[in-house]
Structure 1
Amino acid sequence: MILAPQRHLFDIPRNICYLNAAYMTPLTKEQHRAGQEALSLSMHPWEVSADDFFPVVEEIRSLAGQILNADADSMAIIPAVSYGMATAAKNLPLAPREAILVLEEQFPSNVYEWQSLADKVGGEIITVATPKDDDWTTAVTEVLEQFGNRISIVALPHVHWSSGAALDLVCISAVCKRIGAALVLDLTQSIGAMPIDMQKVDPDFAIAGGYKWMMGPYSLGVMYVAPRWQQGKPLEQNWIARKASEDFRRLVNYQSDYQPGARRFDMGERSNFILAPIYREGLRQLLEWGIENIAETLMALNARFAALALDAGFRPVNAAYRGPHLLGVHIGTAGDELLMKLKAANVSASVRGDTLRIAPHLWIDEQDEAVFASAIKV
């Protein structure tokens, strides 16, 4: 279902055309209200009880699980993608001369950890070259077939962060399982904007920062941990992840057991009394709209933006391979000049390398489209 513009839910000035959800999503007015209430509560810590440390976080876990078609027990609360990648690297085996596969120009948080792990054990990084036709799925599967069981870990995004080209994770996961490679996903540029099903993909770990398409605040995110890894080693040892942490009177009765499921992987101070209510409201709003409805609406919107870019002489990423929500436009060496023209028209977008990244969301309406159409032709 195509959704009507939802601009009324946001505080976006009428003269701003914000096409930069892949950079950061603005909070809704309702999230702002939730944040104000959370700040007010923090002024009165005597009103915060032991029982307040758990419910909001558990709602976040459940809501994120619904978006991913995953059990709430499989969701961990994390502060950043790098935290989740470090957790995955701590648990996944890599032997000397085995390899980790990544994409060319993949986002750094899903590269640095793997470089460090490879250096530590004497492993290797194999980088899949950018396909000229934007078909990352074929490019990845060909490399997987070429190197076979030399590859121990496959660390990928769902959507390339600069071009918006999407990968078929179900197809790639099947190849990973056949060659015995673990699959680690960075879902930051897809979760919340396009359907993703953990039951069908079955990755080992799937990690996402929350401040982009999940409509959350900066410094909160989630990590899916497959049941086969839920008895693994957490990155840190914090009190709230341990069994019976709900009973504050007996916290010094130290526990060797953890809370059930993926909770052992939660970050310390996960209860974040200010940010957590904001995040919960963003997830609730996404589910109210419906992820499939969001994807369908943004796909139609980006098809129109792609046509405008093509008319202006630029080449959009192949429609057959791009995600519905994130449109990369190949602009060659015109990046600085084009960005200046867009900025002059109060159009906010990003340039990554030689690609203009257009990332609208449901606040975009016909007036915004008209502003972009005029600016891209200048």
Structure 2
Amino acid sequence: MLDCQRDKFFLPEGVPYLNCAYMSPMMIKVEEKGIEGMQKKRFPYQVSPQDFFSDTDELRNLFAEIIDAPEANRIVVIPSVSYGMATVTRNLKMSKGDEVIVAGEQFPSNVYPWMNACRNQGAELKIIAPPELAEGRGKKWNENILEAISSKTKLVAISHCHWADGTIFELKKIRQRTREVGALLVIDGTQSVGAFSFSVKQIEPDALVCAGYKWLMGPYSIGLAYYGPHFDNGSPVEENWINRFESEDFTNLINYQENYQPGALRYEVGEHSNFILVPMLKAALKQIIKWQVPEISGYCTQLTREAITILRNKGYLIEDDAYRSPHLFGVRFKEKTSFEKTQALLQQHKVSVSVRGTSIRISPNVYNNFDDISVLLKCFE
């Protein structure tokens, strides 16, 4: 079992930062790689053509290991979740009467693309709202999503766990149902991948899109996406030189190519060789692999187990364990007055959490310790 890894971060003692779902703190080695990347441009003559490809190749392999993907060339570098989803909408053909299903209160980057696609193509966006239940909420929510998938469904866009309260969605069952009706499954892994085990081999999503600055512990403005066989011959969001066939040969770039790089590499953002952000994200993923995702999940579970029991006993509403992610959970209140008072106390004690909808979202990671949890509980008590 992991012990606290606070010494690997620029995070001072006495700062209860329980907000990785907002943004991870910077690891020392990640910052060092960023500084090295900036300094590299002092001497551009030392940047070789191979450097445009080698780091991103390694980055794909690292991410493939984390998500259990058999083919690294199905992984691409993206600047944001919205960019990764735009690739899907660009290659999504719908007709009047078709439906796209999303879970209620999802992060906007996994809703706006489908709103626009449905509006432009005459399809319907079905939002499956969370049931208003104190118990059995996650189970019922999953049942409602499965029941909504029908022969009209063209695509289901969902996360592994809900970004606001950590509710787990049963992706294996959803995948099975989408296959039965011939629908695509697109997953936003931003709030799970890196801290909650995910397997491409098991789920077989058509697309998995992840921002890099949260649980992957990388910098802002870089992320990674996986695209399955459905997208093999699609159209990229943009046309850039590096995504074309044999672009590694700089002497041959004026012999314009009709073909793209193999796999999903046609979908990478232009200038994806970013000599600052790519090495930073590489360093972060190497550390995650060293820790191992199940160990990260286990650490978060151990850290919060007793606190969750205490909060439940005091009347706070937290998702059932079977439907709650280990690294992210929401605390819901029965009274608005208590909600507002607790917010004020958290701010007073400088406890960093997030308010999302009607929940106070708590999202620890390996840099947190039981002292952080103790301060948190005092605010709720």
* TM-score (norm. length: structure 1): 0.95
Matched, 1:251 2:253: yes
Letter in 2 for 1:372: L
CA distance in 1, matches of 2:72, 2:379: 44
Residues 1:77 and 1:146: Cα distance change in structure 2 (over 3 Å): closer
SS of 1:172 mapped into structure 2: helix
Residue aligning to 1:93: 93
Residues 1:312 and 1:136: Cα distance change in structure 2 (over 3 Å): closer
Letter in 2 for 1:255: Q
CA displacement 1:319-372 (0-9 Å, x = unmatched): 221011101110252444322211211210001111010000001113222222
Matched, 1:38 2:37: yes
Residue aligning to 1:17: 16
Residues 1:352 and 1:143: Cα distance change in structure 2 (over 3 Å): closer
CA distance in 2, matches of 1:375, 1:142: 35
Residue aligning to 1:189: 191
CA distance in 1, matches of 2:182, 2:139: 18
Matched, 1:370 2:374: yes
Q: RMSD of the TM alignment (CA)?
A: 1.5
Per-residue deviation at 1:134?
5.7
Residue aligning to 2:51: 52
CA distance in 2, matches of 1:35, 1:150: 47
Residue aligning to 1:168: 170
Residue aligning to 2:108: 108
Matched, 1:347 2:351: yes
CA distance in 2, matches of 1:89, 1:265: 13
Per-residue deviation at 1:302?
2.4
Per-residue deviation at 1:247?
1.4
Residue aligning to 1:299: 301
Letter in 1 for 2:171: L
Per-residue deviation at 1:144?
4.1
Matched, 1:337 2:336: no
1:134-283 map, 5 Å: 135-136=137-138, 138-146=140-148, 148-283=150-285
Letter in 2 for 1:199: K
CA distance in 1, matches of 2:143, 2:254: 51
Structure 2 unaligned residues grouped into runs of 5+: none
SS of 2:321 mapped into structure 1: coil
CA distance in 2, matches of 1:147, 1:44: 55
In the alignment, is the contact (CA less than 8 A) between 2:190 and 2:210 conserved in 1? yes
In the alignment, is the contact (CA less than 8 A) between 1:137 and 1:168 conserved in 2? no
Residues 1:311 and 1:244: Cα distance change in structure 2 (over 3 Å): same
Structure 1 unaligned residues grouped into runs of 5+: none
CA displacement 1:209-264 (0-9 Å, x = unmatched): 11110111111111111123222111111110111111112211111111111111
Per-residue deviation at 1:143?
4.4
CA displacement 1:264-292 (0-9 Å, x = unmatched): 11000101111111100000000000011
Runs of 4+ in structure 1 over 3 Å off: 133-147
In the alignment, is the contact (CA less than 8 A) between 2:94 and 2:123 conserved in 1? yes
Per-residue deviation at 1:136?
4.4
Letter in 1 for 2:22: Y
CA distance in 2, matches of 1:193, 1:140: 22
CA displacement 1:46-74 (0-9 Å, x = unmatched): 22221211111111111111111112111
In the alignment, is the contact (CA less than 8 A) between 2:149 and 2:178 conserved in 1? no
Letter in 2 for 1:260: P
* TM-score (norm. length: structure 2): 0.95
Residue aligning to 1:360: 364
In the alignment, is the contact (CA less than 8 A) between 2:303 and 2:369 conserved in 1? no
Per-residue deviation at 1:168?
1.2
Residue aligning to 2:324: 322
CA distance in 2, matches of 1:134, 1:42: 55
Per-residue deviation at 1:137?
5.8
Per-residue deviation at 1:147?
5.3
CA displacement 1:290-312 (0-9 Å, x = unmatched): 01111111122222331242354
Letter in 2 for 1:228: H
Residues 1:184 and 1:242: Cα distance change in structure 2 (over 3 Å): same
Residue aligning to 2:311: 309
Q: Work out the percentage of aligned pairs sharing the same amino acid.
A: 37
Residues 1:119 and 1:367: Cα distance change in structure 2 (over 3 Å): same
SS of 1:212 mapped into structure 2: coil
CA displacement 1:56-95 (0-9 Å, x = unmatched): 1111111111111112111111111101111111112211
Residue aligning to 1:122: 122
Letter in 2 for 1:304: E
In the alignment, is the contact (CA less than 8 A) between 2:304 and 2:373 conserved in 1? no
